[in-house]
Structure 1
Amino acid sequence: MNKGVSLYKLGMIGLLMLLLLIPLMMINGIIGDRQNRRDGVIDDIARSSSYSQQLTGPLLIVPYRRTVQVSRYSAVTQQRYEEPVEERGRLYFLPDQFTLDGNVQTEVRARGIYEARLYHATNTIAGNFVLPERFGLGDEYKNYHFDEPFLAVGISDIRGIENDLKLNLDGKTFDFVPGTDVPLLGEGVRVMLPTEDGAEKTTLKFTFDLRLQGTGQLQVTPVGKSSHVVLSADWPHPSFIGNYLPTARNVSDTNFNATWETSFFSTNVQDILNRCSASEICNELKARSFGVSFISPVDQYLKADRSIKYALLFIALTFAGFLLFEVLKGLAVHPVQYALVGAALALFYLLLLSLSEHIGFGLAYLISATVCVALISFYVSHVLGSVAHGTGFGIGLGTLYALLYGLLSAEDYALLMGSLLLFGLLVVFMVLTRKLDWYAIAQRPAKPVVASLEVAQ
């Protein structure tokens, strides 16, 4: 005699849930593979154009030579003596005022179904250097011989430079040349300055225009004693990154603009530069940056990955609904029927992933959920022998899909909403079964499930 609910049935349901983890893990692996392929395409596009950009500078560099006395030891005379040696070095000066006014236009580059967002930033960079008297060397100034000074700007990927760079210095124009000749800045450009401008004047006012292409992120290192940076773009989903948030920002449905204000007190750039001046790499200097990321927040792979984390919960709740029908109606649902419904629930995530790559996550979710709910409702109507039961089951499943979409959309409140959902479902289950005698149900013969839908009387 078949039992409505038995330990055997519960064990089979538990085993089916474990077996359904296999296709779910495979689908999760497909999500990871597609995401890696997307990232690889974006990296290929960036490799063919330009990567994320970071601007560091300008810095004023003054090379010098001086003669110093070095103590030597003579093995012949076994005495120490002083020998004059020429020492070469550089003095580094940061601008007192640094301003950057940037306007960014974005564009989409596609390769197959994958897209990468490039940007074109038109920047006006200006400021001034206020040099200390005798370069701050005091009485030692007379012992120094200065070579031709130059101004250097670090640009992380010089392939993105889109214009002929010219520096306006106190009304005079000078051409930039490739390379910073400053290891701590990395790649970039420099411009040689006349000795009378670079070594005698105490105040140097500069300005230049820089059109720059990049992918993903645009960052700026605030090198000024006082730095003022303004960025605006035709991108409505900015992600502000780096060590400093904007002091003011305005984000609309079509664009954004943001303003940053920093000082030496907040950046400590001068002290960092002093420590890094003899180094070839200065990660600490480049870490003192801020900027914006142009990566799209609508990542179908991330949302698909988050949604599949709820798959086992969905299957458990659906099976619990079947079990509830067995308990309340005394019906016998075969484990194979449980398995087919579970397979439909698992394939929802594969359908969601494949559709979202072409039509967007929201529409893909709606279509996938609709067809899965329709299929399961049709099947359950025959399994339970009732259109009403199948329709009710479909409504409940559709509600669960709607709640899942809410969880995916409200990331900050996902845990709270998920907890309330589970508690609410537990309340419903307990209320519906509050008067059941579970011992009697285990011994009650199950009603045979008819092959066709019951006819309304």
Structure 2
Amino acid sequence: GRFELPAQLGITENFADYRFEPAFLAVGISDIRGIENALKLELGSQRLAFSPGSQVDWLGEGVHVTLPAQDSKQPSVVDFAFDLRLQGTEQLQVVPVGKTSQVSLASNWPHPSFIGNFLPAQREVTDKGFSANWQTSFFSTNLEQALQTCLDRQGCEDFTNRSFGVNFIDPVDQYLKSDRAIKYALLFIALTFAGFFLFEVLKNLAVHPIQYALVGFALAFFYLLLLSLSEHLGFALAYLISASACVLLIGFYVCHVLRSVVHGLGFSAGLAALYGLLYGLLSAEDYALLMGSLLLFGLLGTVMVLTRKLDWYGVGKRKGGEVAQ
């Protein structure tokens, strides 16, 4: 980094009347347990050791180093650098407080997620890593006012929230995939119930709410099995075992509910296809939204085609007639 100090620190009058405490450089680190190396500040030819604590309340935890005295009467430039090695870094964010802030970031992590108020002006992501460049101006950030509000102890949320950076995600992590599967749970269960309901109305069968509930419980147990098995077997194998178990259990039950092995096998085939489509959605990174949209559109079209001649007003009447008989 670089600090450009104007003559007399920008004070034009009565500079001799001012007294300044020693300047220091502070680095805020949200979890100092991750610091792996002994920090040294490179200041020209000097090597200065950092001390614990950021010394700045709104920075929270961190480190700081006292800087040598500067000749304040003359303009000067302070170039500095330090090597900070952190373990377990999940994300890195920068608050662009400079009049013009330029940040270049490169890593061998192949799955970055760029976050914050400002997206990189240039970025390149490959299987071997990524590189990104940000550039912000004094006018686009309005951080001077936000910083002054923070220093006046009126709240630092506006200041700290105007950041940008990258989140290091792991798309192959079984917990992340299980979390993504759970986010689709409501949609998946609704689609299964919709298929169950179509069999009921198209085949003129009466299905009790308890039977719907039992099928719903079986669908919910899929996610518990998936999470517990993936901790020991890996996500793909755990998904195969969990989906197969649920398809077999529900298929066996539906054969008796619908009073037809053929109908039960057809429902099981549809459920297996849904599990296969769900796995495709979980595995896809760039086309998940597109695949999900096409899936929903296709299912909606299928329902509309199958029920195009169905008399919805007569559905309740037919069920009532069967119960009366």
**TM interval, short-chain normalised:** 0.7 to 0.9
Q: CA RMSD in A?
A: 3.8
Asked if 1:239 corresponds to 2:108, the answer is no
State the identity as a percent.
45
Query: Are the counterparts in 1 of residues 112 and 130 from structure 2 also a CA contact under 8 Å?
Result: yes
SS at structure 2 position matched to 1:195: coil
C-alpha distance in structure 2 between counterparts of 1:285 and 1:197, whole Å: 31
**Alignment-derived partner of residue 223 in structure 2:** 352
Query: Are the counterparts in 1 of residues 121 and 135 from structure 2 also a CA contact under 8 Å?
Result: yes
Higher strand share goes to which structure?
1
Query: Are the counterparts in 2 of residues 356 and 363 from structure 1 also a CA contact under 8 Å?
Result: no
**Alignment-derived partner of residue 216 in structure 1:** 90
- Among candidates 185, 193, 211, match of residue 307 of structure 1: 185
C-alpha distance in structure 2 between counterparts of 1:299 and 1:426, whole Å: 32
Asked if 1:174 corresponds to 2:174, the answer is no
Query: Are the counterparts in 2 of residues 217 and 294 from structure 1 also a CA contact under 8 Å?
Result: yes
C-alpha distance in structure 2 between counterparts of 1:441 and 1:226, whole Å: 73
Q: Classify 1:377/1:153 alpha carbon distance in 2 versus 1 (closer, same or farther; 3 Å).
A: closer
Aligned pairs for 1:404-419 (under 5 A) are 410-411=288-289, 414=292, 417-419=295-297
- Among candidates 168, 184, 190, match of residue 294 of structure 1: 168
C-alpha distance in structure 2 between counterparts of 1:187 and 1:274, whole Å: 20
Q: Classify 1:413/1:199 alpha carbon distance in 2 versus 1 (closer, same or farther; 3 Å).
A: farther
Asked if 1:188 corresponds to 2:62, the answer is yes
C-alpha distance in structure 1 between counterparts of 2:193 and 2:254, whole Å: 15
Aligned pairs for 1:87-102 (under 5 A) are none
Larger radius of gyration: 1
- Among candidates 213, 237, 241, match of residue 367 of structure 1: 241
Asked if 1:163 corresponds to 2:16, the answer is no
Aligned pairs for 1:23-422 (under 5 A) are 127-196=1-70, 200=74, 202-253=76-127, 255-279=129-153, 282-296=156-170, 298-325=176-203, 327=204, 335=207, 339-340=210-211, 343-359=214-230, 363-378=237-252, 387-403=261-277, 410-411=288-289, 414=292, 417-422=295-300
- Among candidates 424, 440, 443, match of residue 302 of structure 2: 424
Q: State the shift of 1:382 in Å.
A: 6.1
C-alpha distance in structure 1 between counterparts of 2:35 and 2:170, whole Å: 24
C-alpha distance in structure 1 between counterparts of 2:114 and 2:92, whole Å: 10
Q: Classify 1:357/1:223 alpha carbon distance in 2 versus 1 (closer, same or farther; 3 Å).
A: farther
Q: Classify 1:353/1:161 alpha carbon distance in 2 versus 1 (closer, same or farther; 3 Å).
A: same
Query: Are the counterparts in 2 of residues 307 and 404 from structure 1 also a CA contact under 8 Å?
Result: no
SS at structure 2 position matched to 1:369: helix
Q: Classify 1:303/1:396 alpha carbon distance in 2 versus 1 (closer, same or farther; 3 Å).
A: closer
C-alpha distance in structure 1 between counterparts of 2:65 and 2:319, whole Å: 88
Query: Are the counterparts in 1 of residues 7 and 72 from structure 2 also a CA contact under 8 Å?
Result: no
Query: Are the counterparts in 2 of residues 341 and 376 from structure 1 also a CA contact under 8 Å?
Result: no
Query: Are the counterparts in 2 of residues 234 and 256 from structure 1 also a CA contact under 8 Å?
Result: yes
Q: Classify 1:151/1:197 alpha carbon distance in 2 versus 1 (closer, same or farther; 3 Å).
A: farther
Q: Classify 1:198/1:166 alpha carbon distance in 2 versus 1 (closer, same or farther; 3 Å).
A: farther
Q: State the shift of 1:194 in Å.
A: 2.7
Task: State the one-letter code of the partner of 1:352.
Answer: Y
Alignment TM-score, normalising by the size of structure 1: 0.56
C-alpha distance in structure 1 between counterparts of 2:142 and 2:270, whole Å: 59
After superposition, what is the alpha-carbon deviation per residue over 1:208-257, rounded to whole angstroms, capped at 9, x for unaligned? 22222355322122233333323333433322111111122222345333
Q: Classify 1:324/1:231 alpha carbon distance in 2 versus 1 (closer, same or farther; 3 Å).
A: same
C-alpha distance in structure 1 between counterparts of 2:154 and 2:84, whole Å: 25
After superposition, what is the alpha-carbon deviation per residue over 1:241-300, rounded to whole angstroms, capped at 9, x for unaligned? 111111222223453332222232333334443444443853333222111223445341
Query: Are the counterparts in 1 of residues 178 and 223 from structure 2 also a CA contact under 8 Å?
Result: no
SS at structure 1 position matched to 2:214: helix
Higher relative contact order (CA 8 A, sep 6+): 1
Q: State the shift of 1:347 in Å.
A: 0.8
C-alpha distance in structure 1 between counterparts of 2:10 and 2:258, whole Å: 90
Question: Please, which moves more after superposition, 279-288 or 169-178?
Answer: 279-288
Query: Are the counterparts in 2 of residues 152 and 182 from structure 1 also a CA contact under 8 Å?
Result: yes
Q: When the two structures are aligned, how many residues end up with a matched partner?
A: 310
Query: Are the counterparts in 2 of residues 234 and 254 from structure 1 also a CA contact under 8 Å?
Result: yes
Alignment TM-score, normalising by the size of structure 2: 0.76
Q: Classify 1:204/1:136 alpha carbon distance in 2 versus 1 (closer, same or farther; 3 Å).
A: same
C-alpha distance in structure 2 between counterparts of 1:403 and 1:182, whole Å: 51
